[in-house]
Structures are given as structure tokens and as C-alpha cells.
Copies of this chain bind each other. A is one copy, B any other.
Amino acid sequence: MMTEDEPVVFVIDDDASVCKSLMRLLRSFGYEARAFHSAEHFLEQVPFQGTGCIILDVRMPGIGGMALQDKLGKTEDSLPVIFITGHGDIPMSVQAMKKGATDFLPKPFEDGQLIDAVVKAVEKSRQIRMSCNELNNLRMRLDRLTPREREVLPYIIAGLLNKQIAFKLNIAEKTIKVHRAHIMEKLGVGSVAELVRLAEKANIEPYDQRS
């Protein structure tokens, strides 16, 4: 399915010497590394789809590290962020961690600390990506449902009988059976139990009877 899945580490720091030494370090540990000397340059890049992580300097001209984290956090399949900084304080680090950073390293730091953080961040990225792929697969299959089938689905996963659904939608019970069969086939499941689990993953709310 995928050709390769080499993790990529993005280094964003306005200090060229920091970039350079980080690149060398990361490459010596077998990572593909790419440097950007500002948040703006990083954002110009085409959205990255693979696994990896971002090493981000807090203080930079223009868009700062924290602001960039906010921007990236809005896209769902974002890469884990490791902060590095020369002039950080506790409130700053706490805020970054609250927003989901995987680590926050004050300069100077040991090579080993940085690599440890990168290993963990990349691992996290892999997991995010896997569950994201699963979800996309699911959504693609769900897109193949007709409007009517999408309408019937919440009733089915709520456990209503065909007869009850038919009454709700004012159509024949037979028709519900057909929709049901189509849904099961399109989503590739062999039982209502599997269907329910699928729908849970895709966050499809079952029809609530108390309404």
C-alpha cells in the first residue's frame, strides 16, 4: 500500500547554527531532517502527510513557535511538536504542554534528551497516522452510502427493528430491509454487531429514542 514510511523531522529555528547542528545530529541517528529558518517558510511547504515530528524554537521573528503550534493544532493530522528554547520560563512550558506538545527542552540540552524526545514523538505520530488512516478508510466507505441509507443507519445502530424504522420514515418495512442490506454490503460488515462498532469509530450517533 505505502511505498516507504521514513519519518521526517522538521527543524524550525531562526538560528542557522542551531539548525545545522540539529540536522547533523538527527541525520547521524538515521532521520531524514529538513530545516526552516522561520514559521512562515514552514507553512509555505505543501502539507506533509507522512510520519515524523516538528522541532520548534519558541522565540523567532514573525510568527513565534507557540503561535505556529496553534495554527498546526487545527489540522487534524498534525505532527507532534517538540519545543526548544533559550529563553523559556515555566508558564511558557506549561502552556505548551497543555496544548499538546510532546516535550519542551530549554537550551542547552544534551543530544540524548533531544533524540529521546524525537523517538517518542515519531512513535506518537505513527499511532496518530494509523488511526487517521483507519478513519479515512471508514469515511470513504461511508461516502458511498446514499442519502437515504445514511438516514437509516442511525436507526439501525440504535437497535430499532425494521418495522419501527419504517414507521418513523413513513415507508414500507421491506424498503428498510433493502437499505439495511445495502449498508451492510457497502460497509463490508457481516453483522449488526460489526456495524455498530464501525459506526462508533466513525462517530455516528445512534438515533436517540427519547426525542
Chain A: residues with CB nearer than 8 A to chain B?
Answer: 88-91, 93-94, 97-98, 103-104, 106, 156-160, 189-194, 196-197, 200, 206
Most buried by B among A106, A157, A193: A193
A158→B90 contact, CB < 8 A: no
**Residue ID in chain B nearest A94 by CB atoms:** B104
Cα-based distance from A156 to B193 in the complex (angstroms): 8
Query: How many copies of this chain does one complex carry?
Result: 2
**Residue ID in chain B nearest A92 by CB atoms:** B90
CB distance from A112 to the nearest CB of B (A): 13
Q: Can you name 24 A-B pairs with beta carbons within 8 Å?
A: A88-B90, A89-B90, A90-B90, A90-B93, A90-B104, A90-B106, A91-B106, A93-B93, A94-B97, A94-B103, A94-B104, A97-B97, A156-B193, A158-B191, A159-B194, A160-B191, A192-B192, A192-B196, A193-B193, A193-B196, A193-B206, A196-B197, A197-B200, A197-B206
Contacting residues, chain B, for A94 (C-beta < 8 A): 93, 97, 103-104
